[in-house]
Structure 1
Amino acid sequence: MAATSSNLQNVYYERKTGTPKSCYICRKPTTTVLATLKIEDFLYTCEGHLTDPASPISPPAATSGPSADDIKKVISDYQSREARKFSKIEEKDKDKDQEKKDEKGEIDKIKEKDKDQDKPKSPEASTPSIPTASTPVSPTHRKFALHRHIFEMRKNDIRKREQGIKAKEVSKGLPQVPRTAF
């Protein structure tokens, strides 16, 4: 899970772990982890540092709702889309009736061939269906933003790791240092 420091966003989610490790800031043992959504970056942090004044991201306020004009506009847009959809459906039904007549003739020809060959037909219902499992878009964990200095430190750590990996890859192509005396 390689994360590039330029793609890293300052949105972390609180999670719990089974084994305590030291806090990134104060080195106290903690089981709380702040991790990005795709777990590109994570850091252990104690409960005391989760309550720092600038770190929690508050959920959007739900008190201000849409105005009556906005609601009327959405309703009229919806009704116009439904009217267009209904007219398209009527046109498609006419086309489908013609297609069904064509397909019925083709199906009769296929049935005659099948009877001639005495092969059992495979049922159409045996085709596997693709399950559509919806994954939650946003996790239910609390959301946090790191302080800008700590976030810069995290980006620098990731950048150093990336540079170390690149250096190892480059060094594989270089010749080794001689180990014998001249």
Structure 2
Amino acid sequence: MAFPNHYTHRKVAETSARTCEICFKPSTSVLITPDNKDFFYVCPGHLQDRQFCTPIIDQAAVEAKKKAALEEEVARVKKEYEEKQRKKKEKEAAEKKSDKEKDKHTDKDSKANDEKTEAEKTEAEKSGKPTESKSPEPEEEPREFELKRMFYQERINKKRNAEIAKRNRERMRDPNFFPSVPKGPP
């Protein structure tokens, strides 16, 4: 009859919203046991309350997520470094080329080339810098919860009382439940 103190947070459609068990406001969040024996509607704000429930955090999943994020960051930094090295080599090659051209041309031509190379450098710097700004991913809310002892006991009592009431209704429908009228003389 008892069910585990392990609830999964799920969302339902707006049309299926019911009152919260705690504050009686309409809510679309549901806490449900894995075996579907017990469920109840609760406001998302109550899930943040440490006096009501505590999140069950899967440490392996958290570690895997951190590791994947770290690997992604390392790959991005390597790519940026390789890009900078490539641009640096191109810049050095362009400077060597411009130095050779300076020797060949007169002073007027060299001034024009300097202006062109400076313009090319500024364009390369502008295009080389990543302008994309990553917005930090919102932290995922925990999906697994464990109720505090008092609330869990309340859920068990509520379920037990509902079961007892159901049994009593079934007994009342049975015609043999009530005693029969005496048929003999008093």
Quickly name the TM-score band, shorter chain normalised. Answer: 0.3 to 0.5
Q: Pick 1 or 2: higher relative contact order, CA cutoff 8 A, min separation 6.
A: 1
- Give the TM-score normalised by structure 1: 0.48
Which has a greater percent of helix? 2
* Greater Rg over alpha carbons, structure: 2
Normalising by the residue count of structure 2, what TM-score does the alignment of the two structures yield?
0.47
